Amino acid sequence: MKDASLAIDVGATKVSVGLVARDGEVIVKKEISSKVSSQDELNDSLAAVIAEICHRDGVNIFGAGIGSAGPIDNVAGTINPVNISHWQDFSLVDFVRSVSGIQFVRIIGDASALAYAEFMLGAGRGATNLLGVVVSTGIGGGAVLNGKFHIGRTGNAGFIGHIVVAQGGDLCECGQRGCVEAYASGTNMAKDFGVDGFEEVAEAARIGNLRAIASVEKGAAFMALGLLNAVALMDLDTIVVGGGVMSADDVYWPILQKHFEKEMSALNFPGTVALKKATLGKDSGLVGAGLVGFTQGRERG
């Protein structure tokens, strides 16, 4: 019998659901789209995949962990994802308890889940002050401070995608203007280039399309400015970057590194800040959510 945690990773366009072992192994994973016509459709899809995954022979489920795009309220167990209109002020913790039978369910931000996974098992091992960043349809962040996982008062510590880096700038999905996400997400780099997805931007940049390269340069420059602000605020030693955009890291990563080094050159803190790629791959957020599920230490009733 293998111990596992039910793990749910709520992104802007899809929800991943799986079982994660204590060592971070993803035993099984399913995905559903969050781009649906109604809350009922989304809820029914999630309930069905949870039921399918939880009824698995040879697995003992200890708890459940949710990593969700924010903002979240980890006390009330509700979510308000900027890019999922059907789940505004939605009691996801209560819903998961109801459909799974798991009583001990904990929710954190999706990027906090990535940060936790990378700190425990991946590129962030040995860090003291770490920021984990998800660069995808949206942009999220999660923090480890003084060697301890830090979620803040409401669970939204590290909400770097909505740091304002251009006063009066482009309108963000959150309603504010000039957020990091408004320029630096995969969606908005694609929008700047005039295509539907970041992979199209990356493909064009690979063959030397100057407009595509300029769109990546613009997004990475604003991302680097957001990272500089985070370093200045929290005195970080490590930043780990994951998310869908990193599937094109051959294009994105060198440009982000260049802009980050440029921004950091004016910040005269002692020592260096390590900018690292997430090593747990596209499942890092799911793994982190699963690991959080084990912190409950209770079996499913």
**Domain edges within the chain:** 2-109+283-294, 123-279
Q: At what angle do helices 198-206 and 186-193 cross, to 10 degrees?
A: 60
Question: Residue with structure tokens 């880096």?
Answer: 165
Residue 133 has what pLDDT?
A: 96
Residue 128 has what pLDDT?
A: 97
Q: Which two tokens stand for residue 129?
A: 């002050």
The 3-state secondary structure of 80-100 reads: CCCCCHHHCCECHHHHHHHHH
Q: Let me know if domain 123-279 sits in CATH 3.30.1200.10.
A: no
pLDDT in tens, 240-298: 999 999 999 999 999 999 999 999 998 989 999 999 999 998 899 999 999 999 986 44
Question: Beta partners for 60?
Answer: 3
Q: What Rg do the C-alpha atoms of the chain give, in angstroms?
A: 19
Residue 297 has what pLDDT?
A: 44
Q: What is the mean pLDDT of residues 42-69?
A: 94
Distance of alpha carbon 81 from its chain centroid, rounded? 12
Whether residue 83 contacts residue 138, with contact meaning beta carbons closer than 8 Å, is answered with yes
Omega of the bond leading into 71 within 30 degrees of 0 (cis): yes
Q: Let me know if domain 2-109+283-294 sits in CATH 3.40.50.300.
A: no
- Report helix, strand and coil shares of the chain as percent, to nearest 5: 40, 25, 35
Q: What is the mean pLDDT of residues 195-215?
A: 97
Residue 55 has what pLDDT?
A: 86
Q: How many CB atoms neighbour CB 217 within 10 A?
A: 17
Q: What is the mean pLDDT of residues 74-83?
A: 91
Classified as helix, coil or strand, 66 is strand
Classified as helix, coil or strand, 116 is helix
Q: How many CB atoms neighbour CB 164 within 10 A?
A: 16
pLDDT in tens, 119-134: 999 999 999 999 999 9
Q: What is the mean pLDDT of residues 202-210?
A: 98
pLDDT in tens, 148-174: 989 999 999 999 999 999 999 999 999
Residue 202 has what pLDDT?
A: 98
In angstroms, the Cα distances linking 22 to 125, 185, 198 are 16, 31, 33
Output the average pLDDT for the chain.
94
pLDDT in tens, 178-202: 999 999 999 999 999 999 999 999 9
Residue 296 has what pLDDT?
A: 65
Q: What is the mean pLDDT of residues 30-47?
A: 95
Q: What is the mean pLDDT of residues 24-41?
A: 95
Residue 156 has what pLDDT?
A: 93
The larger pLDDT score, comparing residue 299 to residue 241, is at: 241
Percentage above 70 pLDDT, the chain: 98
pLDDT in tens, 214-250: 999 999 999 999 999 999 999 999 999 999 999 999 9
Residues 6+ apart with CB under 8 A from 297: 62, 63, 104
Residue 90 has what pLDDT?
A: 96
Q: Is the pLDDT of residue 301 over 50?
A: no
Whether residue 140 contacts residue 230, with contact meaning beta carbons closer than 8 Å, is answered with no
Do 2-109+283-294 and 123-279 come out as alike in CATH topology? yes
Q: Choose the weakest-confidence range: 43-47, 81-85, 88-92.
A: 81-85
Q: Could you give the CA distance from residue 217 to residue 223 in angstroms, rounded to a whole number? A: 10
Q: How confident is the model at residue 13 (pLDDT cuts 50, 70, 90)?
A: confident
